[in-house]
Amino acid sequence: MTSGRCPAAVMALFLRFFRLGQYSWWLPLFLWIAAPTPAQTSLELRVAIEDGVQQVKVGSSTKAVVRDAGGRPLGEIAAMNAFVANSKAGKVVLDRWNAGQIWVEPTGGGYVFIGDRWYRGRALIVPTDKGVTAVNYVDLEQYLASVLGAEMNGNWPQEALKAQAVAARSYALYQRQRAAKRVFDLGDTAGWQVYRGIADESIGTQTAVNATAGQVLINGGRIIEAVFHSSAGGCTENVEDVWTQPLPYLRSVRESFVEKSPVAQWAESFSQEELSQRITGVGTIRSLQPEKLTQCGRIISMRVEGDAGSRTISGDTLRSALGLRSTLFEVVPQTASISAKGKNQSPPLLFQVNGRGFGHGLGLSQWGAYNLATQGVNYQQILLFYYTNTQLAKIQVQ
């Protein structure tokens, strides 16, 4: 039986070997078969695909109209063609056209090509101090069908996907409200929420988006910043213990179930030499001791002792330096031997890091949602469990 994610997977394989400008009649037909269009809201998001790069390739699967900032037509790009955009003297240069800003608008329901991927909607190229920024203007619900495929998996239970859809919609609209002075509402990386265009869409993700169309989470009548992460490791955090400002809807909750996932528990090993290279300023490291922990046990600060001194570093800095999945871990030194007199223990030759979960531990746990959905919990219950003091509401698109 064909799975819900199969069309997106096949599409990704196809696009891996596809080169813009070849097989021009294949792409629109292939995409039409692979991914039906989700319901549109007529609310556009502005998503930065390339921000402050020297140049970016932009094209279209169908004939595209090229316009200036005022909407005046400058020319056309032929179907399955693309040009490199860059900046010169404060203007965007795209092939024979130059303007303060340039729009590329596919006709006939075509797809826009930005960088190395295909996207729904249209593209705006603006000049920056470093070069150009390419922004994808895309319908909110169409955007979400892609985000779900990148952040979860179209094969996951629908109730988990629905929960993710509502969280991602809330997060996107929260950022949109705060972006008045930016040329984009949000980016496309994990620092925002991952968005990779049509290749990540599937029947499963589109079904979840359509089933929750327009639904958001609110607190005090306002859309919340519905952040999420891969795995809580058994416990989510109060936001002020991880970031700064306390919020009534990002409170610590403990999961009553044993998570089944590839990242529920993990371990990493570091030699003394490797650890001393990654954490500098103390010489040969002898011990790492937690100084401050969250109520769930995540490292807020760690005391690092070495033969040349000691220092305190944050859990986030240590996580980054060691490439760990989360700050919910403990360090277990492996000592090689004890001196003949039995007094002086030799420095550890190996440090074992045992951890749980993946991500910052705030808001929705994606693997937690997966596990709850497999137990028959619906998406409304999942959302209200992870986002305390919230309500579900439906936006009215103007």
pLDDT score at 105 = 98
pLDDT score at 10 = 38
Nearest to 112 by CA among 94, 96, 90: 94
Cβ-Cβ contacts under 8 Å for 398 (sequence gap 6 or more): none
The mean pLDDT value for 30-57 works out to 75
Element (H, E) at 371: helix 366-374
The mean pLDDT value for 49-77 works out to 97
Please give the Cα distance from 317 to 244 (Å, whole number).
16
Query: Does some domain include residue 331?
Result: yes
Query: Does some domain include residue 175?
Result: no
pLDDT score at 42 = 75
Q: How many CB atoms lie within 10 A of CB 278?
A: 14
Please give the Cα distance from 12 to 187 (Å, whole number).
21
Walk across the sheet containing 215-219 and list its strands.
222-223, 215-219, 391-394
Higher pLDDT, residue 397 or 70: 70
Higher pLDDT, residue 273 or 347: 273
Query: Does some domain include residue 187?
Result: no
pLDDT score at 380 = 98
Looking only at the bridges linking them, the beta strands covering 44-53 and 186-187 are parallel
Please give the Cα distance from 80 to 93 (Å, whole number).
20
Task: Check: CB of residue 318 under 8 Å from CB of residue 302.
Answer: yes
Please give the Cα distance from 333 to 343 (Å, whole number).
18
Structure tokens at 259: 């998570």
Q: Is 70 exposed, middle or buried (0-12, 13-18, 19+ CB in 10 A)?
A: exposed
Tell me the whole-structure pTM to 2 decimals: 0.86
The domain of 295 spans: 265-356
The mean pLDDT value for 128-155 works out to 96
Q: Name which of 61-75, 113-127, 343-357 the model is least confident about.
A: 343-357
pLDDT above 70: residue 263 = yes
The mean pLDDT value for 287-299 works out to 96
pLDDT score at 338 = 52
Q: Name which of 15-29, 80-94, 219-233 the model is least confident about.
A: 15-29
Q: How many CB atoms lie within 10 A of CB 161?
A: 30
pLDDT tens per residue, range 12-35: 433 333 344 433 333 433 343 344
Structure tokens at 114: 């930005």
Query: Does some domain include residue 282?
Result: yes
pLDDT tens per residue, range 353-381: 999 999 999 999 999 999 999 999 999 99
Q: How many CB atoms lie within 10 A of CB 341?
A: 6
pLDDT above 90: residue 166 = yes
Higher pLDDT, residue 42 or 267: 267
Query: Does some domain include residue 299?
Result: yes
Please give the Cα distance from 182 to 185 (Å, whole number).
7
Per-residue pLDDT band for 153 (boundaries 50, 70, 90) equals: very high
The mean pLDDT value for 250-269 works out to 96
Count of structural domains, the chain: 1
Element (H, E) at 82: strand 81-88
Please give the Cα distance from 73 to 75 (Å, whole number).
6
Task: Find the length of the chain.
Answer: 398
Task: Check: CB of residue 192 under 8 Å from CB of residue 328.
Answer: no
Task: Check: CB of residue 38 under 8 Å from CB of residue 146.
Answer: no
pLDDT score at 21 = 41
The mean pLDDT value for 282-303 works out to 95
Structure tokens at 74: 């400058």
Task: Check: CB of residue 195 under 8 Å from CB of residue 188.
Answer: yes
Structure tokens at 296: 């769930």
Structure tokens at 132: 């150009």
Calculate the average pLDDT of the chain.
89
Higher pLDDT, residue 374 or 336: 374
The mean pLDDT value for 121-133 works out to 96
Query: Does some domain include residue 376?
Result: no
Question: What is the maximal distance between C-alpha atoms in the chain?
Answer: 86
pLDDT score at 344 = 60
Phi, then psi, of 95 in degrees rounded to 5:
55, -120
Element (H, E) at 1: none
